[in-house]
Chain A
Amino acid sequence: MSDNSLNNLPGGFKGMSQDMGSDQTVFKGVQWGKVMMWIFLLSDTFIFSCFLISYMKGRTSTVVDWPNTSEVFSLHVNGVPVPLLLIAIMTFVLITSSGTMALAVKYGYEKNRKMCGWLILATAIGGLTFVGMQAFEWSKLIHEGVRPWENPFGAKQFGSFFFMITGFHGTHVSIGVIFLFIYSRKVFRGDFDKGKRGFFTSMKSDYVAIEILGLYWHFVDLVWVFIFAFFYLW
């Protein structure tokens, strides 16, 4: 134990592996909940990867032509079809909500209860807008005759994959929105300042919970970027 001073500690890769292999925690100073969310997101990444890889396989091996996405997804403004218009707005709204979420985390750690609460509420409203626009897009496509089992514009897998994957992502967003509303209420009520015990878990509340929710929200946004690229730009 004599050579325990900082200067004698190994650096580089060896130092990193020694730190990670040392006792008690692998990720020093990182709360349990945060590690949990990261690992859950890794698992969720695999779910979305499986969906998107299946989509690529389905799209490349289908016997009927894939519909022209810039026509299918275009929005008519004054009778002029504008490709990617709706989706650009949706993406903008969702990414903006990521910004407000990041600010909420910052104000949360600063114990600025009001700002934190309002920003979480703004994030929730952004997410709700996104889901609303997605519902609009779904109903537009359904109105035009696209169904999970059929598609007037080409390969029937288009409808199947589109509704399944955007639906799965939309479910993620909706769950996020529900939690954002719950958390904004908790912040306004001051649960995180008082360390109020959770209704189900009976564990103490902490502002780190907002960062954990933020991790989830940023992940949902990131996944959307991939879905956007693979469905609308390909």
Chain B
Amino acid sequence: MSDEYNQKNTPIKAQSSETTSGSSGSSKDIDYVRPAELPEQDLYHGHSFITKWIFCQDAKVIGVQYFLTAVFTGIVGLVLSWLMRLQLGFPELVPFITAEHYYQFVTMHGMIMVVYFLTALFLGGFGNYLIPLMVGARDMVFPYVNMVSFWMFFIAVCVLMASFFVPGGPTGAGWTLYPPQAILPGTPGSNMGIILMLVSLSLFVIGFTMGGLNYIITILQARTRGMTLMRMPLTIWGIFTATALAMLAFPALLVSCIMMTLDKMLGTSFFMPTILQAGEVLSYGGGSPVLFQHLFWFFGHPEVYIVALPAFGIVSDLISVHARKNIFGYRMMVWAIVGIGALSFFVWAHHMYVSGMNPWFGFFFATTTLIIAVPTALKVYNWIITLFRANIRMNTVMLFCLGFIVTFVNGGITGIFLGNVAVDIPLSDTYFVIAHFHMVMGIAPLMVIMGAVYHWFPLVTGRMLSEKLGKWHFWFTFLGAYSIYFPMHYLGFIGVPRRYFEMYDSPYVTSATGMNEFITVAALIVGFSQLIFIYNIVTSLSIGKPAGKNPWKANSLEWLTPEVPPAHGNWGEKLPVIHRWPYDFNVPGAKEDYITQTTPPSEVISAEVEKT
């Protein structure tokens, strides 16, 4: 390595001149790749059980830790959703669920699923595992900080879970935690519950910042030789852009958490107007509740894309591998991801059309919201064109990808409804909204997560998951999810409001009852069908078919490690050298239907590869 490696502070000029004069023999070589700019990474190798598996600095182990913790919280969120559905569908079966409980379930379900499950799973789980492998690094750039990041997340989860057991229970303010009601008596958990929630979110932000810095800098500064930005898998582009969004959006959440904590604990009035409670004027006064909404949604809208962009990236790679075809319009896909990310900071107030803000403000945000449909639609078209006349393998991974496209288009189209002020006002706070965001940022990213688990399980464990069980799992999940959320559009149109514990004697109660029962049954079936998935994972760990190297015949780097599953340091003696993008499938003139990223051009001289 030493001759290939320039000193750290060598200016770029020296490297360029070396390409012309230094090694004249190799500069004409078609396999030429610029010499290494970076020294070998200094890694800490764990020796004991604790440093290898618990306080581990290996990004792969940290990724699995993130994954398991996130899945655990996700299961808690799932159980909460069952309880909510039981109350809505069969209230007489669950007399122990009071209105207060119901609001607490709603709140905790929402917060867990959005922040502690999806965000942590995509960025903490997949990000940690895949980034160093896919860009050809030995590990994250700051392994120690990365380890602390996970443990901060773990503490945040513990604090969140602790709020179930404090007096008053967890907060019941809705996942948006709008003040003033979130911190006033009358809302469940308005003492310890809300405080623990705010503390937990702040810890999450701190922990995530540590991880996020790692992801960004590993992608920007630690790629291997030949890995240009436009040769990175779209997974990495998605995770990178989502992390960048998170670094800029989470500050708003942190600030709103700090301010609300002060409102609660010190009696400041940042968000609290003058309030009469039971005939008495409270000491609050002069604050602005709408300010909280602006801060929250300045975080909250990019948060949607923090979840969606990694899903976009991952699904692009899965589709390309399992359709044996290059992803259509790679550069367009990259710019669409970046463009969606940038636009997501200019649309937040479309969550606030009914907050009483100036209507012209809503007009502006409706326009920006609809502009986001353009890059998003480009992505959908590109996925479909990638599938067009492709050599599709109809396996579980592909099924989940197709499921993603369908649910995403469905949820995206209802998003266009809700993006328009005039349409949104009658539909806001109805089940139409629930249907929309569960389709677009609940089910669609979940489909990708499940597809990704089927795809990368052989890499992580060295064994395949059962295809048969996988297909059962897919059909239960996909059809079940549709039977849950599709009828909700209708419930929304007839005006059933969200977050209501009971419908009482309202006029739509008769027509909604049957549908609510149906949705509840479907939700229970979908939830329980996840046991197939868990069973599949647990049994495949020991009896699954050994995967061997590169079972999907993929091109990207993570499958090309010397050992499968990859060892600490990922690459053995020598870092890989990259010659192409990861999408050279079915190239005319090539012997095999795939050309890995590390295959030098001289080995596939007759293939008509794209210049990347």
Nearest-CB residue, chain A, relative to B29: A1
Chain A 34-64 interface mask (CB, 8 Å, partner B; 1/0) = 0110011011101101110010011001111
B464 adjacent to chain A (CB < 8 Å):
no
Nearest-CB residue, chain B, relative to A47: B251
> Which candidate, A75-83, A138-146, A198-206, A216-224, is the interface stretch facing chain B?
A198-206
B611 adjacent to chain A (CB < 8 Å):
no
Interface contact A28-B12, CB-CB below 8 Å: yes
Shortest CB-to-CB span from B264 to chain A, Å, is 12
Nearest-CB residue, chain A, relative to B15: A28
Query: Which residues of chain B are near A5, meaning CB under 8 Å?
Result: 20
Interface contact B286-A155, CB-CB below 8 Å: yes
Chain B 205-222 interface mask (CB, 8 Å, partner A; 1/0) = 000010011001100111
Shortest CB-to-CB span from B27 to chain A, Å, is 5
A22, A42, A58: the one contacting B248 at CB < 8 Å is: A42
Interface contact A156-B285, CB-CB below 8 Å: yes
Interface contact B295-A54, CB-CB below 8 Å: yes
Query: Which residues of chain A are near B85, meaning CB under 8 Å?
Result: none
A20 adjacent to chain B (CB < 8 Å):
yes
Cα distance, A2 to B19, chains bound together (Å): 10
Interface contact A31-B262, CB-CB below 8 Å: no
Cα distance, A38 to B16, chains bound together (Å): 27
Shortest CB-to-CB span from A1 to chain B, Å, is 5
Shortest CB-to-CB span from A35 to chain B, Å, is 5
B44 adjacent to chain A (CB < 8 Å):
yes
Cα distance, A200 to B34, chains bound together (Å): 35
Query: Which residues of chain B are near A40, meaning CB under 8 Å?
Result: 209, 213
B485 adjacent to chain A (CB < 8 Å):
no
Query: Which residues of chain A are near B267, meaning CB under 8 Å?
Result: 148-149
Beyond A1-B32, A23-B223, A149-B269, whether A54 also contacts B259 by CB under 8 A is yes
Interface contact A35-B16, CB-CB below 8 Å: no
Q: Count how many chain B residues have C-beta atoms less than 8 Å from C-beta atoms of the other chain.
A: 70
Cα distance, A49 to B248, chains bound together (Å): 11
Nearest-CB residue, chain A, relative to B17: A6
Beyond A23-B33, A203-B42, whether A2 also contacts B28 by CB under 8 A is yes
Interface contact B221-A58, CB-CB below 8 Å: no
Interface contact A64-B286, CB-CB below 8 Å: yes
Interface contact A29-B10, CB-CB below 8 Å: yes
B142, B212, B217, B255: the one contacting A54 at CB < 8 Å is: B255
Interface contact B142-A36, CB-CB below 8 Å: yes
Interface contact B259-A23, CB-CB below 8 Å: no
Interface contact B220-A26, CB-CB below 8 Å: yes
> Which candidate, B64-72, B190-198, B224-232, B492-500, is the interface stretch facing chain A?
B224-232
A19 adjacent to chain B (CB < 8 Å):
yes
Nearest-CB residue, chain A, relative to B247: A43
B558 adjacent to chain A (CB < 8 Å):
no
Interface contact B16-A6, CB-CB below 8 Å: yes
Which residue, A24, A47, A159, has most C-beta atoms of chain B within 10 A? A24
Query: Which residues of chain B are near A61, meaning CB under 8 Å?
Result: 288
Query: Which residues of chain B are near A39, meaning CB under 8 Å?
Result: 213, 216-217, 247
Cα distance, A21 to B252, chains bound together (Å): 30
Query: Which residues of chain A are near B258, meaning CB under 8 Å?
Result: 164, 168
B278 adjacent to chain A (CB < 8 Å):
no
Shortest CB-to-CB span from A204 to chain B, Å, is 6
Interface contact B286-A63, CB-CB below 8 Å: yes
Interface contact B270-A54, CB-CB below 8 Å: yes
Beyond A9-B16, A203-B42, whether A57 also contacts B221 by CB under 8 A is no
Nearest-CB residue, chain B, relative to A44: B251
A4, A58, A168: the one contacting B19 at CB < 8 Å is: A4
Nearest-CB residue, chain B, relative to A45: B251
Interface contact A46-B248, CB-CB below 8 Å: yes
Nearest-CB residue, chain A, relative to B20: A5
Interface contact B288-A58, CB-CB below 8 Å: yes
Give residues in A with beta carbon < 8 Å to B.
1-2, 4-6, 9, 19-33, 35-36, 39-40, 42-44, 46-47, 49-51, 54, 57-58, 61-64, 148-149, 155-157, 159-161, 164, 168, 200-204
New contact pairs (16) apart from A32-B221, A202-B44, A203-B144, CB-CB < 8 Å:
A1-B32, A2-B28, A20-B229, A23-B33, A27-B220, A32-B142, A39-B216, A46-B251, A49-B251, A50-B252, A58-B270, A148-B266, A156-B269, A156-B285, A201-B44, A201-B144
- Write 26 A-B pairs (CB below 8 A) sorted by A numbering: A1-B19, A1-B28, A1-B29, A20-B229, A21-B229, A23-B228, A24-B221, A24-B223, A24-B227, A25-B37, A29-B12, A36-B217, A39-B216, A39-B247, A42-B247, A46-B248, A47-B251, A50-B298, A58-B270, A58-B291, A148-B262, A148-B268, A149-B266, A155-B286, A160-B262, A164-B262
Give residues in B with beta carbon < 8 Å to A.
8-13, 15-17, 19-20, 27-30, 32-34, 36-38, 42, 44, 141-142, 144-145, 209, 212-213, 216-217, 220-231, 247-248, 250-252, 254-256, 258-259, 262, 266-270, 274, 283, 285-288, 291, 295, 298, 578
